[in-house]
């Protein structure tokens, strides 16, 4: 089905593949070859479909490009091409490709319900189908197709994602706080924020243009109120979005605004603006997904430097019922049900999910691994290791971030910041429930 002519986009990409081959050889040498027995050596052409691969020169695109080169170097009969679409239009582009028979063999998706409309086009699978990966990888829950059958998933989880709170040590010191003592409880958090505010420092970053920071902050508190099982119940509708626990997890974010901790120009800021502001010492604390490009890896090379910031898990609320830290896959990778080369597609996913693949993604793109045996010391900075410390101490549960349908999530991103500012969280959650149910 994928008769790619040697002209057009793929040709341009192929040319780029050749120029970068030397890099792959270098990496293969440092990371070590994975062993592939001769009898099931994958072969043929596969296409990788997603949004991260629009730009193969930076971000996750660079990691995937490098991983693909290592994989093809080890499997000379294989050729990997990339097919990228705009992130915002991913669902419609994926479904139309599936119906036209042109969907890539390997399909990238966000975990949870975000890309649920695409699941029907993929080969349903179970963790057991993937051998050792079933136990080596965490975050399989992110690919569950139907909450009634948590064992059947749309794809393999690759990369670790959680919300970590970052703080600027110098600004803490400037406000008379101990730069090595990150807040652990809500009381400690508000004490620190108040001290920062008193010193004329903006305590918490918020971004009204995209609502991402408020969303991440919200996600960071959710595990204090929901177990992994309950998260699936939110998704199946057993727990509606107007459940008091949903409100309880959102309340701390609203409290931060009410206490005046947000940057005053939040309404005009995107999250990338605020990450820049954090690097430049204009704001003391920021919630962040550890795979965002301006994350610990990028920050290490910035004005901030690897020693300039610390991390902490969402401060514990008084009414919290658990101590979990949300930690789920960054992305899940499914195999197109109509793939003409499913075995090679699976082999590539295995490669990406393995130690070698995840090491490449960590080194090239700063993507945090979701397996314990990736050598953080070699490939990651002190910042990444501090993150691992938080995960170890708080418990890296497989709790997924808030489980909304794509419609409800779109609604949330559109209105979250406004809802917090207006203070009418109940109406907001009611609107979300209407979207989730529709």
Partner 1 sequence: MRWGARIVMVVACLAVLFPLLWVLRTALKSDAEFISQPAAIGGTFTLDNFAAAWNAVDLGGAIRDSLVITIPGAMLATFLGVLAGYALAKLPVPAKRLLLVLAVGGLTIPIAALVIPEFDQALWLRDTIGVSYVDSTWGLSLVYGAFFASWSTLFFLSWFRDLPADLLEAAWLDGASAAQTFLRVALPLAVPAIAVGLVLNVFLQWSEVLLGLIMLPSGDATTAMTAIASFSTQFRVGGPLTAAATIIVALPIFLLFLLAQRWLRTEIFGGSIKG
Partner 2 sequence: MLFVAPLVVLLLIFVYAPIGRLVYYAFTTYDGLKPPQWVGLDNFAFLASWPDFRRAIGNTVVLTLGVIVWVGLPFLLAVIIHGRRSANLVRAILFLPALLPALIVGRAFRLVLAEQGPINEALRGLGLDLLAQPWLASETWVLPTIITVIAWATMGTGVLLYSAGLASLSSDYVEAALVDGARWRQLVWHIYRPALGPVTRFWLLLLTIGTVTSFFPWILGLTQGGPGTASVTLDYQVYRSGVQTSRLGLASAIALVGVLVVAVLLVVQLVMRRVRGSDEW
Q: Which residues bind partner 1 (CB under 8 A)?
A: 2, 4-5, 8-10, 12-13, 49, 51-52, 54-59, 83-89, 92-93, 96-97, 99-100, 102-103, 210, 270, 272, 276, 279-280, 292-294
CB of 75 to partner 1, least distance (A): 23
Q: Residue 435 class from Cβ within 10 Å (0-12 exposed, 13-18 middle, 19+ buried)?
A: middle
Question: Binding string to partner 2 for residues 254 to 273, with x set by CB under 8 A, is what?
Answer: -----------x-xxx----
> Is the CB of 57 or the CB of 438 nearer to partner 1?
57
Number of residues that bind partner 2 (CB under 8 A): 30
Single out the residue of 67, 107, 121, 290 in contact with partner 2 (rule: CB under 8 A).
121
Tell me the Cα Rg of the chain. 22
120 binds partner 2 (CB under 8 A): yes
CB of 44 to partner 2, least distance (A): 26
CB of 382 to partner 2, least distance (A): 32
For residue 286, the surrounding DSSP H or E stretch is: strand 283-289
Scan for tokens 């730009």, then name that residue: 55
Paired tokens of 5: 């002519």
280 binds partner 2 (CB under 8 A): no
> Is the CB of 178 or the CB of 268 nearer to partner 2?
268
Within 8 A by CB and 6+ apart from 288, the residues are 163, 164, 165, 166, 216, 275, 295
Instruction: Kindly identify the residues of this chain, within the stretch 180-209, that bind partner 2 according to CB under 8 A.
Output: 208-209
> Is the CB of 88 or the CB of 181 nearer to partner 1?
88
Asked whether the beta carbons of 310 and 387 are under 8 A apart, the reply is no
Q: Which of 75, 107, 65 is CA-nearest to residue 363?
A: 65
96 binds partner 2 (CB under 8 A): yes
Q: Which of 166, 148, 173, 144 is CA-nearest to residue 157?
A: 144
Asked whether the beta carbons of 401 and 329 are under 8 A apart, the reply is no
CB of 292 to partner 1, least distance (A): 5
141 binds partner 2 (CB under 8 A): no
Question: Binding string to partner 2 for residues 390 to 419, with x set by CB under 8 A, is what?
Answer: ---------------xxx--xx--xx-xx-
Helix H segments across 20-80?
21-31, 59-74
């Amino acid at each position: 089905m994928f008769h790619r002519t040697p002209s057009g986009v793929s040709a341009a990409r192929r040319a780029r593949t050749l120029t970068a081959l030397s890099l792959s050889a270098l990496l293969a040498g440092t990371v070590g070859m994975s062993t592939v027995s001769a009898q099931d050596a994958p072969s043929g052409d596969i296409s990788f479909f997603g949004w991260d691969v629009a730009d193969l020169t930076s971000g996750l695109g660079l990691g995937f490009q490098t991983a693909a080169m290592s994989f093809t170097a080890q499997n000379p009969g294989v050729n990997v091409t990339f097919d990228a679409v705009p992130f915002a239009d991913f669902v419609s582009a994926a479904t139309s490709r599936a119906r036209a028979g042109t969907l890539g063999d390997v399909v990238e998706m966000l975990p949870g319900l975000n890309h649920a409309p695409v699941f029907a086009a993929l080969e349903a699978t179970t963790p057991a189908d993937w051998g050792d990966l079933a136990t080596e990888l965490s975050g399989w829950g992110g690919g569950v197709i139907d909450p009634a059958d948590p064992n059947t998933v749309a794809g393999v989880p690759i990369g670790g994602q959680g919300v970590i709170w970052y703080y600027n040590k110098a600004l803490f010191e400037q406000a008379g706080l101990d730069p090595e003592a990150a807040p652990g409880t809500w009381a400690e958090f508000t004490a620190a924020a108040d001290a920062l505010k008193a010193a004329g420092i903006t305590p918490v970053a918020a971004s009204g243009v995209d609502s991402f920071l408020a969303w991440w902050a919200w996600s960071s508190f959710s595990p204090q109120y929901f177990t992994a099982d309950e998260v699936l119940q939110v998704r199946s509708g057993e727990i509606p979005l107007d459940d008091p626990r949903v409100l309880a997890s959102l309340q701390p974010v609203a409290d931060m605004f009410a206490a005046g901790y947000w940057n005053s120009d939040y309404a005009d800021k995107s999250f990338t603006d605020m990450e820049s502001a954090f690097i430049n010492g204009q704001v003391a604390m920021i919630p962040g997904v550890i795979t965002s490009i301006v994350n610990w890896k990028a920050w290490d090379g910035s004005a901030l430097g690897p020693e300039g910031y610390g991390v902490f898990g969402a401060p514990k609320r008084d009414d919290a019922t658990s101590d979990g830290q949300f930690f789920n896959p960054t992305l899940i990778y499914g195999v197109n049900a109509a793939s003409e080369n499913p075995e090679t597609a699976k082999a590539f996913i295995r490669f990406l999910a393995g130690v070698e693949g995840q090491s490449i993604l960590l080194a090239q793109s700063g993507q945090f691994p979701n397996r314990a045996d990736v050598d953080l010391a070699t490939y990651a900075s002190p910042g990444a290791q501090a993150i691992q410390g938080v995960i170890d101490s708080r418990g890296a549960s497989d709790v997924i971030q808030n489980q909304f349908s794509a419609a409800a999530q779109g609604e949330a991103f559109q209105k979250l910041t406004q809802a917090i500012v207006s203070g009418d969280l109940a109406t907001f959650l009611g609107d979300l429930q209407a979207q989730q149910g529709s």
